[in-house]
A and B are shown apart, each in its own frame.
Chain A
Amino acid sequence: MSTTFYIPCDSTALALGADAVARSLVAESAQRQLDVTIVRNGSRGLFWLEPMIEVVTPGGRIAYGPVAATDIPSLLDAGLLTGGAHALCLGPVEDIPYLKRQQRISLRRVGVIDPLSVEDYLAHGGTLGLRRALDMTAAEIVKEVTDSGLRGRGGAAFPTGIKWNTVLNASAPQKYIVCNADEGDSGTFSDRMLMEGDPFQLIEGMAIAALAVGATQGYIYVRSEYPHAIVALNTAVVKATQNGWLGDSLLGTGKRFHLEVRKAAGAYVCGEETALLESLEGRRGIVRAKPPLPAISGLFGQPTVINNVITFASVPDILAQGAAAYQSFGSGRSRGTLPFQLTGNIKQGGLVEVPFGLTLRELLYDFGGGSLSGRPLRAVQVGGPLGAYMPESQFDTVLDYEAFAAVNAVLGHGGIVAFDDTVDMLKQARYAMEFCAIESCGKCTPCRIGSTRGVEVIDRLKADQPGQIELLRDLCDTLQNGSLCAMGSMTPYPVLSALNHFPEDFSRRQT
């Protein structure tokens, strides 16, 4: 009988050599006349253990990692096929504490299944949400999503049900569903993991959104930096269409929804929803003034639901299990779970999907194990390049949208980048301004000019010219209050938080 192995095809695992591990296992097994079947799954998100391979035994799936191609002979010698003991053996994968302590909803199938297997998807609860939605009216679907408390996972945390309701109530010849898969924030990869590891779930979520608002066409706008996700999505769209999850008659009901994958072209600001719509329409990704909201006048001027990958991917489960189940997780007005991404200078980096309500410290130390370098963690940037740098004194902040807002920080898309005590916060503040200067779409003056002036002010500050801190604060005030979108209005978050929490990196240059 053949023994089944799972070796991730997730692109982070590939970057760490997963393909070579798979090739080595095939070659060594052939030489030893062992019958093995290799399934390429997504990643469980325990990236310090990747490439992590799993062998299916009567006692469940046993994990080994991090495995190098050269480890395969010794693993086979140790009885890998039956889950034999070895220094790299991690035991039953579900019992690994890092995984066991999570509450996976949106990424629950990622790493478990073959991402492009229709059978696997169905066997793990796939399409249950879509099937239920097909038996409901549009208004009932919207109500279910509203009641779940789901808020946009891209970063802005706008209530999803309210957005959908606006589109449902708009009357137009054509409505659109657009997925914002332009996951540009450094320190984030949950969208990528989902698209590579369980693309059908995103498709199902978008199909449910289409039923909820009466849309017949959808687009997934994926960043060009994610080539593996694009391949997975395109294959998944073809298979979903063959199985009636997309197309002219969803599961034979006569309801129509078509979906197309579009590749972005490396502009960070296209993660802003109106710039994304401009880009989809074939123009430069320049931010539009709001109102009108995309829900009223979005893609090609039609009512459009535009949501992040994880938002859509949360929907099938909300429909399948009911709003109350999802709503029962969370903290305050932040309901459900958020896939946090622990990155940067961290020992155990990876994907941690948990209900809102843990503290930042629990994530950094209980999950992350502290810094990778072994030095003290000094600053943590949460929420991407436009998120605040948080000092150790704020590590006890509860992970929910409102608690972060209360300390002038943002959760954003859940990216957490850790820095040890070698970080120079003036340099990080300068980088934030520089990044804004590079990526500004140029439409509004505060962002376009202010970012360049910001770099100059920080350079003068570094050269010990007096009065620059006051100038920098004044400039940040202009950016924050005068910019058209979050690119300009949030660049002050990293800059001011660096200045406020780490004044010693600035003031020694001012005294």
Chain B
Amino acid sequence: MENLSTIERILAAKQSLPGALLPILHDIQDALGYIPPDAVPSIARALNLSRAEVHGVITYYHYFRQTPPGRHVVRVCRAEACQSVGCEALATHVQSALACEFHATSADGDVTLEAVYCLGHCAVGPNIQIDETTLHARMTPEKFDRLLAELRSKP
């Protein structure tokens, strides 16, 4: 299976690093978009850990996911600095625009919605991040609707 060969390649490259588990999990998620459950036994074997230990680490960290995300991931900051400029109203709007809650994916599979607690742009909130590196400051419901339409119109 294609996923398994990717995982084996990542394990071969990283397993001898000191404290290799997080770098391995990041590489797998970067390559596949998530960490498939069937990766766990291979990772455990390579690092001489129990499957429970690997599972424990994957589920402990908010960033790692065990199911494939939507075509895009939208992260809305809900921390204090963004709260002070109205991120909760934005969060409510985003949920209704996508018709899904946080930590869920819209029905059409376009967007996975995540909450994030600070993106580090606290002087220009509310902030959102789209996929891994695209950032948008001073977000408003109207701006979000335009961005969402753009995202959905892309192939």
A103 CA to B135 CA, complexed, in Å: 30
Q: How large is the interface on A (under 10, 10 to 19, 20 to 34, 35 or more residues)?
A: 35 or more
User: Which B residues are in CB contact (< 8 Å) with A15?
Assistant: 121, 124, 127, 135-137
A15 CA to B25 CA, complexed, in Å: 28
A188 at the interface (CB under 8 A from B): yes
Interface residue from A263, A281, A343, A423 paired with B122 (Cβ < 8 Å): A343
A285 at the interface (CB under 8 A from B): yes
A225 CA to B121 CA, complexed, in Å: 11
List CB contacts (< 8 Å) of B109-152 with chain A.
116-125, 127, 129, 132-133, 135-138
Contact: B123 with A47, CB < 8 Å?
A: yes
Interface residue from A225, A262, A264, A431 paired with B116 (Cβ < 8 Å): A225
A186 at the interface (CB under 8 A from B): yes
A495 at the interface (CB under 8 A from B): no
Q: How large is the interface on B (under 10, 10 to 19, 20 to 34, 35 or more residues)?
A: 35 or more
A468 at the interface (CB under 8 A from B): no
Contact: B124 with A263, CB < 8 Å?
A: no
Interface residue from A228, A279, A344 paired with B133 (Cβ < 8 Å): A228
Interface string of B4-43 (1 = CB under 8 A from A): 0000000000000011111101100000000000000000
Q: Which label, helix, strand, loop or mixed, suits the secondary structure of the B interface? A: loop
A300 at the interface (CB under 8 A from B): yes
User: Which A residues are in CB contact (< 8 Å) with B21?
Assistant: 282-283
A192 at the interface (CB under 8 A from B): yes
A279 → B minimal CB distance (Å): 7
A341 → B minimal CB distance (Å): 7
Contact: B57 with A282, CB < 8 Å?
A: yes
A281 CA to B22 CA, complexed, in Å: 8
A267 CA to B80 CA, complexed, in Å: 17
Contact: B60 with A284, CB < 8 Å?
A: yes
Contact: A435 with B62, CB < 8 Å?
A: no
User: Which B residues are in CB contact (< 8 Å) with A281?
Assistant: 18-19
List CB contacts (< 8 Å) of A280-308 with chain B.
280-285, 300
Contact: A227 with B133, CB < 8 Å?
A: yes
A47 CA to B124 CA, complexed, in Å: 7
Report the stretch among A26-34, A54-62, A414-422 that lies at the interface.
A414-422
A228 CA to B134 CA, complexed, in Å: 10
Contact: A265 with B117, CB < 8 Å?
A: no
Interface residue from B22, B47, B83 paired with A262 (Cβ < 8 Å): B22
Contact: B118 with A186, CB < 8 Å?
A: yes
User: Which A residues are in CB contact (< 8 Å) with B53?
Assistant: 283
User: Which A residues are in CB contact (< 8 Å) with B82?
Assistant: 186
List CB contacts (< 8 Å) of A158-198 with chain B.
183-189, 192
Residues of chain A at the chain B interface (Cβ within 8 Å): 11-12, 14-16, 47-48, 50, 183-189, 192, 224-228, 262-268, 279-285, 300, 341-346, 349-350, 372, 381, 385, 415, 417-420, 423, 428, 431, 435, 439
7 A-B pairs closest in CB distance: A349-B123, A186-B79, A282-B21, A265-B61, A343-B122, A266-B63, A15-B135
Q: List 30 A-B contacts (CB under 8 A).
A: A12-B123, A12-B137, A15-B124, A15-B137, A47-B123, A48-B123, A50-B124, A184-B118, A186-B82, A187-B81, A192-B120, A262-B22, A263-B26, A264-B22, A265-B25, A265-B61, A266-B61, A267-B62, A281-B18, A282-B20, A284-B56, A284-B57, A285-B60, A300-B18, A344-B122, A349-B123, A372-B85, A417-B81, A417-B122, A428-B83
Residues of chain B at the chain A interface (Cβ within 8 Å): 18-23, 25-26, 47, 53, 56-57, 60-64, 77, 79-85, 116-125, 127, 129, 132-133, 135-138
